[in-house]
Structure 1
Amino acid sequence: MELKSSVKDAMKDAMRDKDKPRLGTIRLIMAEIKRIEVDERTEIDDERLLTILDKMVKQRRDSAKQYIDAGRTELAQVETDEIAIIQEFLPEALTEEELNALVAEAVNESGASSMQDMGKVMAILKPKVQGRADMGSISGKVKKALL
């Protein structure tokens, strides 16, 4: 609940500062929270909110890449700006060394020896890296470690 209240506080601050781009992005976050709460009739906890924010960042990265490929750099910049705002609410990103150490630790902990054990390794890693690293890059590191 702490994360959700910090998003609400940031929205109030953006309103006071009349920061329209920031306010718009934070409103998108709040709208997604509300949508899920209404659809599922549940209160979102911090862990679930991290998942939501992570998904929003991934969507924007994909959109920015498509805009760049289409030559629409101004729209890609909007997406990049939104990513920066959303990432303010995510925990600090892990470094490459930390990621490699976590992958090695998870492989050892799960006793994984082949690609068939990748699910076990990912199940151990996901709660540790949620919101702090891109799961696609983690998946690639796990594949390398298991080959």
Structure 2
Amino acid sequence: MTSLKSRLQDDLTAAIKQRDELRSATLRMTLTAITNEEVAGKQARQLSDDEVQKVIAREAKKRREAAEAFAQGDRQAQAERERAEGEVLAGYLPAQLGDEELGALVADAVAEARAGGAEGPRAMGAVMKIVNPKVAGRAEGGRVAAAVKRALAG
């Protein structure tokens, strides 16, 4: 089985051969981010697929935020470019949870936290601790936190 990083490198090579500028530029930036992560810290290391996935998710989030900023600044061409780059990256991430699936996971986590004695607004941390590993990369932290707040308020 090939690693996620080597899949990105193979796809980059293919994109360059096909003269797919958008795809090759996006993959090149993402591989640079992965390399930067690998050499950060005291010792260079190889990232696991999970860690590579987190880097890709972070890069995809940057693209979404940049696209929103460009759209608000009435710079549609740049916004479209950022969205397109985000779509390239989305192909390497697990499918995102729908609102109903996320709500069900959060409801289970709230019930579990209550069973453990966590109640009210202070239960937020306990619920997040339970739900985060179950969500793992399939929903953004902000979305998860908002769902938990809604569930605790209701």
Normalising by the residue count of structure 1, what TM-score does the alignment of the two structures yield? 0.92
Cα separation, 2, equivalents of 1:84 and 1:105: 31
Query: 1:75 and 2:78 equivalent?
Result: yes
CA contact (8 A) 1:100 1:141 kept: yes
Match of 1:104 in 2: 107
Worse-matched range after superposition: 112-121 or 136-145: 112-121
Cα separation, 2, equivalents of 1:52 and 1:120: 26
- 3-state SS in 1 of match to 2:66: helix
Cα separation, 1, equivalents of 2:29 and 2:133: 25
- 3-state SS in 2 of match to 1:44: coil
Cα separation, 1, equivalents of 2:53 and 2:109: 21
Query: Larger C-alpha radius of gyration, 1 or 2?
Result: 2
Which deviations, in whole Å up to 9, do the C-alpha atoms of 1:57-106 show, x marking residues without a partner? 21111111111111100000010001000100001111121111111111
Cα separation, 2, equivalents of 1:19 and 1:106: 44
Amino acid at match of 1:136: G
Q: Within 5 Å, which residues of 2 pair with 1:1-147? A: 2-40=3-41, 41-111=44-114, 112-147=118-153
In terms of fraction of residues, the more helix-rich structure is 1
Instruction: Determine which structure has greater relative contact order: mean sequence separation of CA pairs < 8 Å that are 6+ residues apart, divided by chain length.
Output: 1
Cα separation, 1, equivalents of 2:133 and 2:54: 10
CA contact (8 A) 1:53 1:131 kept: no
How far residue 2 of structure 1 moved from its aligned partner, in angstroms, is 2.5
- 3-state SS in 1 of match to 2:56: helix
CA root-mean-square deviation: 1.5
In percent, how many aligned pairs have the same letter? 35
How far residue 16 of structure 1 moved from its aligned partner, in angstroms, is 2.1
How far residue 27 of structure 1 moved from its aligned partner, in angstroms, is 0.5
Gaps of 5+ in 1: none
Normalising by the residue count of structure 2, what TM-score does the alignment of the two structures yield? 0.88
Cα separation, 1, equivalents of 2:70 and 2:15: 27
Worse-matched range after superposition: 49-58 or 67-76: 49-58
